[in-house]
Amino acid sequence: MTLTKADIVEAIAKKIDIERTEIKVLVDEIFEEIRKSLESGENVRISGFGNFLLRDKPVRPGRNPKTGKEVDISARRVVTFKSGQKLRARVESVKP
């Protein structure tokens, strides 16, 4: 099962009395602010939840699985997520 933006909007709408369209705009704006911060090179820290961290990966050797030929994988910047202690504790407490 996957949580979508629409699911988030619906869950918030059940808890507070605001139009779904306004909630959708708010959720979109939150994600847009996170995107802008990451695009500008800033890490994002959300207290009680976790951190979105930027990581630069260097050029590295790779192999084409079809041909076996060696190729260089270009350098790139990636976003990683590290959960906070509170989130980690809550997830770990749930039994599968």
- The tens digit of pLDDT for each residue in 7-60 reads 999 999 999 999 999 999 999 999 999 999 999 999 999 999 999 999 999 999
d(CA 43, CA 6): 26
Please give the structure tokens belonging to residue 15. 């808890």
| Assessment of whether the complete model's pTM goes beyond 0.95 | no
The stretch 53-69 carries a mean pLDDT of 95
Name the percent of the chain in helix, strand, coil, to the closest 5.
40, 30, 30
Region at 75 (left for phi over 0; alpha for psi -120 to 50; beta for the rest): beta
Q: Does 95 have pLDDT greater than 90? A: no
In this predicted structure, what is the pLDDT of residue 58? 96
CATH fit for domain 43-96, picks 3.40.50.2300, 1.10.3720.10, 4.10.520.10, 1.10.150.120: 4.10.520.10
Confidence of residue 96 (pLDDT cuts 50, 70, 90): confident
